[in-house]
Structures are given as C-alpha cells and as structure tokens.
A and B are shown apart, each in its own frame.
Chain A
Amino acid sequence: MSRRRFLHLAVGLTLVLVVAGAVVLSYFWLPFAPDDTSGGRLAPPGGDHLLGTDKLGRDLFTQLLIGGRIAIGTALGAAALGGVLGVTFGLLAGFATRWLDDAAAVLLDILIAFPTLLLAMLIVAGAGASLGTAVVAIGLAMAAVVARLTRVLVKQILARDYITAARVAGISWPGIVVSHVLPNIAPTVLVNLALQAGLAVLAEASLSYLGLGTPPPNASWGRMLYEAQATVLTAPAGALAPGIALLVLVIGVNLTADGLRDVLSVKGSR
C-alpha cells in the first residue's frame, strides 16, 4: 500500500478531529455566552471577538462552535440511522427472490431518485422544523442509498461457494449472516456511510439555510450563512467563517472515507 493512501486518512482524520475537538471544547468553554450581544453589531474580527460579531452583536466564534455541535451531531445521527435502517433493509432485500426482490429494487431506486432536500422538506412540513426532524429526514434518505448498496453486496456474497459450504455444514442463515455476510459487506458499507456522513452535514446546512433545519436561536452553520447573506460585502467574516468550517469538515470526512476504503480494501478483496 502506498503512502498516499495513509496521507488521505491522516489529513482527513486531522481535519475531522480539529472540528470534533472544537465541538467537545464548546461544552466546557465558550468565549462568550451564546446570547451575549455586548460586542456591538457587526464588529470586525480581532480584539475580544476573534471572528467579530454578527448583526445582532453575538460573538461569531461562539456561534461557530455551537454550530459545530449541530454539524457533527447531524453527521453521527444520520449515519447511525441510515446505517441501521439501510443495512437491515438491504439484508432483507438481499435475501428476497422473485417479485419481492424486484419490488425492493424498484422501491429503493424510487427513494434514491427522490431528492433528499425535497424529502426533508416534506417531512419538515409534516413534523415541523427541528434538528431532530432534519436528522431523521437526512437519515432516511441515507438509508435508501445504503440499503441499495447492501442489497447488491449481499447478493454477491450469497453466490459465493463458502456460503454453500456453510450451508452444507448445517450452519443456520442467521449464523451465516453474522459470520460471513456482515463481515464481508462491512468495509464497503462503512466507507459508504462515511461518505454519506459528509453529505449529511451539507444537507443539514442546506436545510437550515432554507429555514427548515435548526430553528433559532441555535446557531447552525447553514443558518449563519443565511443570516450573513445581507451583509456579506460589508462584514464578510460572518459568511466566511461558517463556509470555511463546512468546507473543512466535509473535506475531512470525505478524505477519511477515501483513506478508509484504501486501507480496508487491502485486507478485503485481494
């Protein structure tokens, strides 16, 4: 394996850990109280306020740290939901035959063709805007992608001779799933989940930007972007800070997924 593969993983993990570290830090220490507006409106970066203040006078760095909690929370929550639901459904669909198999495949294709944001909007319209709703919506969309991948992988694994050998030996289907199927699909599914987690961060930011995600006063990077929109020319820090934070986290997650794939495939497929 080449050094470049480890480089991806190392850089990706570093970026993710920087954001995650800042988020952990935010639970113990914040430069200012989230609702402290003593700094005055739209203060420039520097001085007491590292990144300046927003149009209500709140400290931007504080907002950024709190927004990080939401970004990381969305990534983890949506990946957990999408992973559990997706793998479960994908496993069942992988074992299905005939019309049931066709029905599962068509259902998954329809779900995937349905835009995530539109699905999220529908769910938000029904359940009201909140972080929980956004995570559920993003997680459901992710589950469809994971389920389709899992289904195909399961079908591939089930066609292998070692599955037949296990059945000849009288090992039950649940036993075969635990000992052969899940370990063999795990590397690919995990990498896919990591990639999807990056997309989940973006999806949550988009929803919040549209006002469908985290409601005020909780800062989300997407909502910070929206609020800074009007003053982007006079006080660019308000838009740059959440934008760069998003970029760092998503690139970090994607590089981690990339590196993970290279590292896992060395042991896996060859």
Chain B
Amino acid sequence: MTLLSVDRLSVTDRAGHVLVDDVSFRVAAGDRTGLIGESGSGKSLTALAVLGLLPRGLTATGSVSLDGADMIRAPRGHGDVAAVVFQEPLTALDPLMTAGRQIAGPIRRFRALRGDALRDAVREALDAVRLTDTDRIARSYPHQLSGGQRQRVAIAMAIACRPRLLIADEPTTALDVTVQAEILDLLDRIVTENDTALLFITHDLPVAARVVRDTHVLQSGRVVESGPITSLVTAPQHPYTRTLVESARRFDAALERTGRD
C-alpha cells in the first residue's frame, strides 16, 4: 500500500527560482527510501513539502499525498502518521523541557495516556532507543545529555506515537563517527521492528547504503537517478551519481593506503 506518493512536485520561491523541480517518488509501508544529494539539492525542501511545512514564501505545485491527505492544499499534522528526526538534536529538543516531558507530549496527545501509563510509555520509548538509565535521562535537560543521547531522545520522541512514516533528515551528520554507526543501526532496527516506512535524507552515500534500499539522487532540485542502492553503487548511470560513488571510494582508498603505510 502506498503511504506517501509525491507526484511532479515542484517548489518555487517568490523570485521564481525553481528549488525542487518535478520530483516524483513513492514510499510504501515498510519501504526504506533515500533522498541523496549535496546541500542545496532540494532534498530537505522536498521533505518539508511532504509534511506541508514549507517556509512561507515558497510555493509547491504538483501533488503530495500522505496517508490519503493532500499535503499541498490541505496539510495536517498527525503524530501517528509521520514524524521527523532532525540533523542537530540540540535544536530539535526544547532546552527548557526534560527529555521525559518532550517525549510525553506527543504520547499524551495521540495515545491519550495519563499518569502511570504515560510514564511507562515514556520509559518504553527510551528503552526502544537502547538508552540505559532511563529514569535519569527522562529527568535530564538536553544540555545535560551527550550528542548521541540527545539524538536517541529525539528518535524516541519521533517514534513514541508509532508513526507509519519516519523522515530522517541527515540524522547522523552532526554526530561523531562512532555514534553515527550506532544511530544508524538503531534506526535500522526500529523501522524493522515497527514496520515503519523510512524516508532517509542525506548527502552521504555510505551512510545511506547502511539503511536505505531505494534511492533517488537529487541534483539542483531534480531527480537525476533512481533505483536500488546496490545498483546505484555498483553501476551508477548519471555522472553526478558517479561522482558521489567515486568520492566515497576515494575515502576508502585513502584509508586503506594509510593503513598500509
């Protein structure tokens, strides 16, 4: 069943610049779709358009249907349909709210839990993102947590209402490399366990390769190549995709050379 269908989506600003140009793709329940591209390629704008949250001044044309709702003409937010994990967990969490309260917010709203049941649900969400010492973390403010812990809390908040689509916008870019791997594994496990569809946005091909199955490569607002990530990596067709793959390979080669020396 198609959960999200984006058809000929274009986003233009007031000056008439086309920022997203005729982008179409589909995400079905349980899919793992990647949007790959450098900054400015329109991948994050596409995600915002999908959620009906384009900054004022930008207009979207085409059609975006998320769980049957028209997100361009009649956008509506629902914690149980879609949720987002952002790049920088420090600004994704309200600095004045404890982790527990932030996670509790959407749960109270969409699952109508109160009191002990709410507290249990918060603990469950923190357990689900493999955080230990959940009681302490629930009582902590964002600045008291490490970057990895913050991102786990942000993920816990996003999945607390069991959304059917999880949009991850560069979720590991702001993290240490070791923490990156953990967070990617975590996302991988969570979408498998809950059968959540994943829309994964990144500029980093190797990162995408860890969690994503189908990919769309964006360059200056256009989809230049689409397909399974395996064929994209082994046999890139478009020159831009080839550049992405080669630059990733160069890093590997450099690493190996350093290892040999």
Question: Which residues of A line the B interface, CB within 8 A?
Answer: 97-98, 160-162, 164-171, 179-180, 183-184, 267-270
Residues of chain A lying within 8 A (CB to CB) of residue B88: 161
Residues of chain A lying within 8 A (CB to CB) of residue B141: 267
Minimum C-beta distance from B37 to chain A (A)? 20
- Scan residues 16-67 of chain B and give those whose CB is less than 8 A from a CB of chain A: 48, 51, 53, 56-57
Which residue in chain B gives the minimum CB-CB distance to A166? B105
For residue B200, CB closer than 8 A to chain A, the reply is: no
Main secondary structure of the interface of A (DSSP, over half): helix
Inter-subunit contact B95/A168 (CB<8 Å) = no
Residues of chain A lying within 8 A (CB to CB) of residue B161: 169
Interface segment, B71-79, B130-138, B187-195? B71-79
Which residue in chain B gives the minimum CB-CB distance to A184? B96
Residue of A97, A165, A166, A180 with most partner-chain B CB within 10 A: A165
For residue B126, CB closer than 8 A to chain A, the reply is: no
A180–B105 Cα gap in the complex (Å)?
11
Inter-subunit contact A168/B57 (CB<8 Å) = no
Inter-subunit contact A170/B76 (CB<8 Å) = yes
Inter-subunit contact B96/A267 (CB<8 Å) = yes
Inter-subunit contact A168/B84 (CB<8 Å) = yes
Categorize the interface residue count of chain B: 20 to 34
Residues of chain B lying within 8 A (CB to CB) of residue A161: 84, 86-88, 91-92
Which residue in chain B gives the minimum CB-CB distance to A159? B91
14 new A-B contacts, CB < 8 A, other than A161-B91, A162-B93, A164-B53, are A164-B86, A165-B84, A167-B53, A169-B78, A169-B106, A169-B110, A169-B161, A170-B78, A171-B105, A179-B105, A183-B94, A183-B96, A184-B95, A269-B95
Minimum C-beta distance from A268 to chain B (A)? 6
Main secondary structure of the interface of B (DSSP, over half): loop
Task: Identify 17 residue pairs between A and B in the complex whose beta-carbon atoms are under 8 Å apart, listed by A's number.
Answer: A161-B87, A165-B86, A165-B157, A165-B158, A166-B105, A167-B77, A169-B77, A169-B78, A169-B79, A169-B105, A169-B106, A169-B109, A170-B76, A183-B94, A183-B96, A184-B95, A268-B96
Which residue in chain A gives the minimum CB-CB distance to B77? A170
Inter-subunit contact B92/A168 (CB<8 Å) = no
Inter-subunit contact A171/B109 (CB<8 Å) = yes
What 0/1 pattern do residues 151 to 173 of B give for CB contact below 8 A with A? 00000011001000000000000
Q: A161-B86, A170-B79 are in contact. Are A180 and B53 (CB under 8 A)?
A: no
Residues of chain B lying within 8 A (CB to CB) of residue A97: 56-57
Inter-subunit contact B96/A168 (CB<8 Å) = no
